[in-house]
Structure 1
């Protein structure tokens, strides 16, 4: 017979077990929201937060900073964050100019919208756009600069142009003999490597390197790969230092507190972006002109369905595809977290598009990085066959990638 104490112990253990099961079920139910998943109890520290590692390197130097709205130093609950430029300005670091990428210094410009030079109203620091005709700093723009700091949040997708800006910054620094500090930040899509690999004959600003669509590296690791694989013009080498993350692995789901660009408003859109980004080179609307960018897709000519929406000009898109037209489509706001590039969405859209409509646009090839994907879709290949065709190049890339990884 059980003693009284043993009985109560067993009851307690049973109760604890039930609570644990309930919590596990809740986690599974909410797994569609990446920000609710927690793997590590340690706080991930971005490079920018670790001021002791880099502030001594900046003193008594003329600095240029490559930054946007994500270039922040996270603080406590009461004061969530301060912008890196503002923080260094307060520390009397000499910031001569700020270079801003696509979407601008404060991140308010549309995709592909020209960003003008100007002056930051808060600090009076000159702003130089690196989007439009001037994608690479000139020698004149870097004259008198002792050190360049690059701190921009990436999302780990080849056609997301911040890595192209990184390439040109590295190249310009190498040519002018200026050291570059890259402040590392977590990649919310670092948990897998997948997608078609770019062929260099289709190189463009939306894809400059022979990497899969999703490359599974932080921006610091990627910078090391650009340097190590001699991808800079004339094989020049950048004097590169990466300020690392702390308490980070590639498998830690990371929720971005600040949208990295106007049309990636939340974790779900960022997770779906590699799969829905193909629509940028087609006639299909991928949620631009709504509050659910890259979480749905549709068109006026799709078969009528229970789900519909009407794209309207908004913060993220001044002229969305099929503006003011009722679009029928597919709602992906609640799909589970993806661990691969999902090609079934574009197959579905292609099959729903009447032959009288021109499905593929001028930029589809540069988004795909090759000619094969368009042909595979036209030939009616299954999602599995298309996915299988990517694997040999992915395996070769993983061997290259391994040389530059800084985290597990």
Structure 2
């Protein structure tokens, strides 16, 4: 991918792609140096996503029957003379591979489906892609792990999904289950890496083993500061695959990106993450998913506001009414006037905030309405956070209680980082 740090102020260019392939458990190094773009000033080197580095992975697909795990973010960026004033041009990876006569047999679709239009939590059905005619196998329906039958005609699996670096965002759970299936059936897995827009920090409560599930399969913090490729290596290295097996894993890495690099997504990664602000606020406002408070679903401010009809109207000047819309057929507080806060102009965050949860709990006219205990525990990864909020603990006290686990995780994480 040729893509600059922020589409709001910069743009990307097309470039040549050349790299040497690495071994199954380590990434490869590239000797290619992208050309600088000259405008009024010299800009930084563009970020190159793994999908654009075709020379690195096409040889691994030659003569193989390929299965793709992907969605609407599984894209290759195209050349553009003017990407400042026009949408970022791209082609879907599946379309590109088919045009190159790669033998793609089927597509495995995660939550929200292959085209990314299915509501959160809604079952994704098997089917046939209308554009390519390829079979679509749901990994968010009757099964969440590819079965032996579904993999019997596959020689290699290619995984390419844009992640946002939050534990309960289910694409990393899908990754882990795909790795388990590949390990069980001796099928190589290639992960095409993409930037994590929330990779610049690590924070939040750590998932406790007793509460692991599809919203958090491993004992990691809410925000873990890794790309999906780095995390795949951690899954392998920490023996988190069922039976402590290892997948035959190859990670095709990014170029010209670090964990501190700001990254603007050209395609929404899921229906209710429409822009950079929502993605940045998602680690904090996503915790409202385990409550009865609306976090903007059913509005055009998804994960950029919160509110509820049972919050004290005298404490808030902002109000809105959630209604069914794209990605939210039946939002919380549907049709009700919600009182809360608009955070759509909140500065870029580098930590998880629980202050908004504390605020909603304090200002609820009925304290029993705020938390859905089971749902909140699954999102938080622990029962302790709800208990702390209901006891009236201050945010700094709550965040201090996370530090020992965060320190432990950071030491493990350091072993698997691919980018400084």
TM-score between the two structures when normalised by the length of structure 1 = 0.90
Report the more deviating stretch, 231-240 or 38-47: 38-47
Measured against aligned partners, the alpha-carbon deviations of 1:333-357 in whole angstroms (never above 9, x if no partner) come to: 0010000001111110111112354
Cα deviation for residue 88 of structure 1 reads: 0.2
Corresponding residue of 1:295:
304
Q: How many Å separate the matches in 2 of 1:50 and 1:407? A: 17
Q: How many Å separate the matches in 2 of 1:34 and 1:348? A: 32
Corresponding residue of 2:84:
none
Q: How many Å separate the matches in 2 of 1:383 and 1:160? A: 23
Cα deviation for residue 37 of structure 1 reads: 7.0
Whether contact under 8 Å (2:312, 2:365) holds in the other structure is no
Secondary structure of the equivalent of 1:48?
Answer: helix
Whether contact under 8 Å (1:73, 1:82) holds in the other structure is yes
Q: 4+ residue runs of structure 1 moved beyond 6 angstroms?
A: 37-40
Q: How many Å separate the matches in 2 of 1:53 and 1:183? A: 10
Corresponding residue of 1:53:
56
Q: How many Å separate the matches in 2 of 1:93 and 1:228? A: 30
Q: How many Å separate the matches in 1 of 2:404 and 2:186? A: 38
Q: Provide the aligned C-alpha RMSD in A.
A: 1.5
Corresponding residue of 1:64:
67
After TM superposition, the structure 1 = structure 2 runs for residues 72-151 of structure 1, keeping only pairs within 5 Å, are 72-77=75-80, 80-151=89-160
Cα deviation for residue 311 of structure 1 reads: 0.1
Corresponding residue of 1:390:
402
Measured against aligned partners, the alpha-carbon deviations of 1:7-54 in whole angstroms (never above 9, x if no partner) come to: xxxxxxxxxxxxxxxxxxxxxxxxxx9754779711000000011111
Q: How many Å separate the matches in 1 of 2:9 and 2:183? A: 40
Secondary structure of the equivalent of 2:140?
Answer: coil
Corresponding residue of 2:39:
none
Corresponding residue of 1:246:
255
Are 1:315 and 2:326 matched, yes or no? yes
Match among 342, 345, 359 for residue 370 of structure 2: 359
Measured against aligned partners, the alpha-carbon deviations of 1:129-167 in whole angstroms (never above 9, x if no partner) come to: 000231000011000211000000000000000000000
Change over 3 Å in CA distance of 1:40–1:321 after alignment to 2: farther
Corresponding residue of 1:331:
342
Whether contact under 8 Å (1:37, 1:253) holds in the other structure is no
Could you list the runs of 5+ residues in structure 2 that have no partner in the other structure? 11-41, 82-87
How many aligned positions are there? 376
Measured against aligned partners, the alpha-carbon deviations of 1:257-278 in whole angstroms (never above 9, x if no partner) come to: 0000000000000000000011
Structure with max Cα Rg: 1
TM-score between the two structures when normalised by the length of structure 2 = 0.88
Cα deviation for residue 359 of structure 1 reads: 1.5
Change over 3 Å in CA distance of 1:165–1:40 after alignment to 2: farther
